[in-house]
Every structure is written in structure tokens, then in C-alpha cells.
Amino acid sequence: MFNQLKYILLLLLCLSAGLAFAQSPTNPNYNPNNPNNPNRQRADFSKDTATNTTGKSLTGDQEIDAIRKKEEGKRDSVIFTSKFIRVTNERFLSDSTQVFVLDTGLANFENYSPLYQPRSPKIGLGNLGLPERSLLFEPSRTIGFDVGEHYLDAYLLLPQDIQYYKARVPYTNLSLFSSGVKEQVFKVLHTQNINPQLNVGFNLNFIGSHGFYPQQAVGDLSAALFSWYESKSKRYNLLANLIFNNLKAPENGSILDESIFTTAQNTYATSQNQPVRLYNTSDNIRNNGFYLKQFYYIGKIDSLQKGADKSKILPTQRVAYTFYYNTSKYKFLQNEPDTYNVFPDYYYSSNYSHDSLTVFHIQNSFSYSFYLRSKSIKNEVKLDVGLVQDFYHYQQYVADTVTNFNTFGKALQNDKKQDQSFQDITLKAKVGYRFSDRIFLDADLQQIAQGRDFGDFLYDAKVTLAGGRKAGRIVLGAYLQSSSPPLVYTDWISNHYIFHNNFSNQKTTSVSFNYINDALKFDLKAEYFLIADYLYFAAQPNGIDATPTQLHSDINLLKVSLGKTLSWHDWHFDNYLVYQKTDYQSTLRTPEFYMYSSLSHSQFLFGVLHSNVGINVRYNTPYVAPSYAVGLGQFYNSSPNLTFSSYPVASIYFKATLIRTNIFVQYDYVNQGLLSQGYYMVNRYPGPNSMLKIGVSWAFYN
């Protein structure tokens, strides 16, 4: 039975893999080609569902016998599994060396899309790969220079997303998620140790989706080469990665028929026949970088064992140096007349735009850490001080057909409109205190002391009170932030948008209470935000001219999140609820209530399949929907205000584990047509229709 299923899966994978590269555009004149995070989710290596089938050590004769048996068609006595792989990321290497067993479980496997993560949902323009933003209020916790173009961040692969491995055997993972030509995602991960100290590997991520409406054919490629070296003495570590992102997103300006879900009969046979406002307009973001981090442990090294699956190497002193080089290019192309008034105006050409922005960034970071702990390692004081130098150089170009025009009516070259260089010097300090595994105090201080963004700061403090697994733990947090306005708000020159503003820093004060009980599978978090000089985009009444705006009144926002899992025999009921309330609902446009629930039943089928069948439901209350500014990459507050009806969106799924393979079959938006024909989350851009999805993740350990 197992062999039959294995060959069927192999055949399906081979037949479907080509679809992941299908990037034929809906318009012949357009040729489309990553981001976890950011709203990126943090990796969780804390659990492992792999079966431990590791064999005993073999003598030379036994190894020969095992090889002979394998050649004769019988199983080898040594079966490599995920237990041979250890994984971590830079966050877990920030003040110690921690590694974890590879997680091969089915948890959240069906929610592969960065747009529909249960605890970080997003809204977008219709399908995976198109511009997006957070549905809930999720403030940025960064300071310093910011371009402000974050509409494709969910698909970017960045240095903080890279996972590093210790692999006793070569490890490869192939993943394919497909719904025909509507949506395809293909991922490849390979890593292996060259020797016990050096690991190398690479990531390849492809998104090739046609979407539901014309001019939605996305082509994204994200790739990374990574390496982790740890010396034999465990004192020296080196992390390195080389990252390449090429994200191509078409812009259709929305469909013409804004009543497709309310009219009695649709004029067009399929959604792909619906006329749109733009056919030859697109965005392209390229983000390439090289990241190198080295740290060295000085003095005594302590080791903390936490079972076979994870351990810690704790230094008493540490010095670290980080080098980062990055080039980001933002390009916008419009090669058609604006027949349906998608753009507010033009400054250089009425029917041709070629806007671009290139940003070069070099970062050098130095830090020194000191740790003082008791012999039992339960009590610890740590101090980390550092200095970061950031150098930036950016150039902005616009195709000016007034000054550069040939006989065929095409722009000869782009005119440089901006050319600036500057640097920031940031001082950093971290202070921590741990008392008997029950009380933890941490403070993180960042202050830009010199440069363009002088005065920016982020002061963050956290107190953790732990009462054991059954009692749970309480985390009290607070932070104060002042951040400079992004470039797109203050100095921006393009064919359709020109801004020169002098805004104040946006300031945020926040306090939070978080209770977590792993035994009860329960967590509660209450957050309060006070935002001064809030920055956002808004349009004039009945206008489409998205303009940077600063609110000079304070915004109060309360956010309460609740997560709970109920289990009874083989039934599991997962819930996540969010309540948000603000006194400026028309400015901060997010729903007041959001819910995600998953009801599932697990069972063991045919003696080989660990399976799970269930239903997911997500819902948010109606809210004033934002609009989207093509050519600017910003979601903005339009006028008059529009509030769309809101209905639950349900998906049914079946997922299972077969030895080294995870599979799922899911039908998204299964209730379409029951309560509504469709839904909107952004003004004029309908959400995705129902579709059947198939996903396969195949692991190899040799």
C-alpha cells in the first residue's frame, strides 16, 4: 500500500511542478517574472512530530550486510529522519547558541500563503503576489531611514528569514502548492554539512499565479545561499547569506464593473473576461543583498542541556561584527493611456511612465556583550552595548518625454530627479536580568546619535513572571518610539505623484499585558497604543489624489487578542480572536473584530497515514475600506467612505503525513454563493473566488 501511494505522489508532483513556473501573462505585451514575514512569522522550532526510527551504530561487517540487503530490495537498518537535522535562526543566536530538532508536523500546513496567516491576516488586490497590507493594526518597530514602499513585503526573502542548519546527513525539502493556473507556489530547500563545523545550503521560492481577473499574472523569484560555520571550540561562529529577490506584480487598476457581486446576472462568462482599467502597467521590486555576521566567545563557556532535542551554549563575554550590503530597486511602468482616470494627474507624460528608485545601503555593526551568572546558571545578568553605522545612497529617475523624445514617441532615457547620500550612527544597549527561571527583566535601547535621522529612538522594556508550566507566565511590556517620516511622505518625484513635505516624527507609546499558559493552550494579550503625529495617505473629497497627511491629534487604540485550543479525544478546536477599538476609526481603517477558528479531527488511516480533516473559518466585522494608489504603492483613505458587507470565509481541508511526505487538499471559500457571491477588502478590488488547492511537501534525508 505504501509503495503504491508513494508512486502516485511522485507522479502528481512531477506533473504539477511545471505549473509553478507558469508565468504567461494575460496580455502579450507584459512579461512578468517573495515577503515571514514581515509580517513574517517567526520560526517555531519547539516541537517535532517525526517518528524516531534511528538505528543503532553498525560495525563494518554489519554495514556491508546492510548495503547488500538494500541492493536486494530490502530496507536498510539505518533510516535517516528529521532527528538527524538541527535548525536555528539568527534570533536564537543573538546571545547564545541554540539549536532545535526540525519540525515536520502538519500544524498550519494548509495556511502556506503569507496573506492568510491565522494570527497575521492581510488584505490585498485579489491574489497571492499582488500588493498587500496588514488587516489588523501591526505597528512597525523600526527607526531610521525608510523608503516607505512596503506593498510587496510579504513576499520578500530577507536575512532575518534565513534558517541555519546542522545536518548530519544532506537534507532537501521540495514543496508545491497549486490551484491550477490561478495560484502556484514552488519552494526548494537544500542543506548539508561539508564537515562537522561548516554547513551550506540554498533556498529557491517561486510564485507564478494568473489570478482571477485580467492583468493579475504574478511572477516572483526569491533565492538565497546561506552558510553557518562553528569552530570546534564552539567559540567562533560565522553566519553568511546572499539573497536575491525579483518580484513582478502587474497593476490592472481594478475591474470596471463594481457591482459584479450584487447584479442578478453577470454579463461576462468568466472573471477573466471582465474588462479592467489597465492592461500594460506593472511594478517590479528587486532586492539583493549580502549579509555576514561573526561573533566570538571570550572567557568561560557554559552549557545548558534541555533534553536531546535542544541545548544552549552560553558565553560569559562575546564580541560581534555584522556587515550588510543591500541594493533595492523600485520600478513602475505604465505603457498605455489612462483611459479610465486611474491616476490623479501627470507631470511628464500622459500615457507613459517609467519611474524608478534605487537605494544602496551599507551597514557595519559592532557589539560587546558581558554575562554574569551563578554556578547553577539560573541567575544571570547580561549587558550588551553596540554601535551601528548605516550609509545610504539613493537615486530617483522619471522618464520625461517632454525633454527626451524621439520620432517614434518614446522616451530616450530617464532623467535623474534626486541623488542623495547620508549616514546614520545608532547607539544600542541591551540589559537583562534573570532570577531562578522565574523572573526575567529585559530592556532594549536604540538611539540615533548622528546623521539624517538624528533623534530617532526606540526604548523597549519587558518583564516576564514565570510560574511553571501549569501556572503559565505573564509578560509585561512597554515601549516608546520616535521614527522619522519615510521618504515617500517627504521627498518623492514620479510621473503621477510629487511630494515635498516637512513632517514631524511619528511617536508611539505602548504598554501591554500578555498571559501565556502552554498547558491550557491559552494566551491572552492586551495592548494599548497612544500615537502622536500619525502619518497616513488620504485623498481630497471625491478625489483619487492620494496625499501624505499627518494627524496632529493623539490616537488611542486598544487591542485585545485571545487564543485558545480545545481538545476532546481526536477533536481539536483552535480559536484566535482580536478586538480593536480606536477613537479615530475613519483614519486607522481596520476592523473592530477579527476571528479565526479551525475545527479538525485526526485519525490514522490504512496503517500509514496520520491524517487530519477539518474546516477553517475567518471573519472580520465591516470597516471603512481603503483604496489603493497605482504608481505609488500605497493604501490610502479615500472619500467618500465605503463600507462593504462582511461574511465568513470558510475552507475545508484534508491533510496527512505519509512517512516523509506531507500532503493536503483544500477547497478555499467553500461557502461562496451561500451568503454572498464574493467580497471586497479593498475598494474596487474583489477578493479571490473559491478554488481547489493541493499541497505537497517532500523531505529527503540522504
| Angle subtended at Cα 310 by Cα 307 and Cα 313, rounded to the nearest 5 degrees | 105
Once rounded to an integer, what is the mean pLDDT over residues 665-692?
A: 92
pLDDT at 59: 52
Alpha carbon distance 579, 581 (integer Å) = 7
pLDDT of residue 479: 97
Mean pLDDT of the chain: 86
* Inter-residue contact 127 to 182 (CB < 8 Å): yes
CATH number for the domain harbouring residue 509: 2.40.170.20
Q: Record the cell numbers describing residue 557, joined without a space.
A: 487604540
Task: Report whether 182 contacts 691 (CB < 8 A).
Answer: yes
Q: Kindly report the pTM of this predicted structure.
A: 0.85
Q: Could you tell me the pLDDT band of residue 543, with boundaries at 50, 70 and 90?
A: confident
Nearest of 582, 581, 479, 477 to residue 534 by alpha carbon = 582
pLDDT per residue over 396-429, tens digit each?
999 876 555 544 455 446 788 999 999 999 999 9
Between CA 75 and CA 53 the distance in angstroms is 13
Contacts of 278 (CB under 8 A, 6+ apart): 215, 251, 252, 253, 334, 336, 340, 342, 630
pLDDT higher than threshold 50 for residue 321: yes
- Reported as a pLDDT band with limits 50, 70 and 90, residue 623 is very high
- Residue 426 belongs to what domain range? 2-700
Q: Which range (25-34, 377-386, 460-469, 485-494) has the least confidence?
A: 25-34
State residue 273's pLDDT score. 82
Least confident interval from 235-249, 393-407, 475-489, 559-573: 393-407
Q: What is the mean pLDDT of residues 297-314?
A: 72
Q: How far is the CA of 211 from the CAs of 25, 31, 36, 354, 682, in angstroms?
A: 10, 15, 22, 25, 16
| Res 540 pLDDT > 70 | yes
pLDDT digits (tens, 9 = 90+) for 17-63: 444 443 433 343 333 333 334 344 445 454 444 334 344 455 555 55
Residue 92 phi, psi dihedral angles, 5° rounding: -85, 0
Residues 6+ apart with CB under 8 A from 28: none
Residue 203 has pLDDT above 80, yes or no: yes
- Tally: H helices and E strands in the chain: 3, 36
Of the given ranges (101-105, 147-151, 292-296, 360-364), which has the lowest mean pLDDT? 101-105
Give the per-residue pLDDT at 467.
86
Q: Are 213 and 276 contacting, i.e. CB atoms less than 8 angstroms apart?
A: yes
Residue 517 pLDDT: 95
Q: Provide the grid cell at 561.
A: 487578542
pLDDT tens for each residue of 550-577: 999 999 999 999 999 999 999 999 999 9
Predicted pLDDT of residue 353:
92
Q: In whole angstroms, how far apart are CA 232 and each of 98, 195, 196, 229? A: 16, 11, 8, 10
pLDDT at 8 over 80: no
Per-residue confidence band for 16, with pLDDT thresholds at 50, 70 and 90: very low
| pLDDT for the residue 49 | 40
Does residue 250 have a cis peptide bond before it, meaning omega lies within 30 degrees of 0?
no
Confidence class of residue 521 from pLDDT cuts 50, 70 and 90? very high
Is residue 3 predicted with pLDDT exceeding 70? no
Q: What is the mean pLDDT of residues 367-381?
A: 85
**pLDDT recorded at residue 568:** 94
Question: How far separated are the first and last CA of the chain, in Å rounded?
Answer: 23
* Domains: count for the chain: 1
The C-alpha torsion from 265 through 270 and 275 to 281, rounded to 10°, is: 150
pLDDT value of position 12: 47
Specify the DSSP class assigned to residue 304. E
Q: What is the pLDDT of residues 572-594, one digit of tens each?
A: 999 999 999 999 998 999 999 99
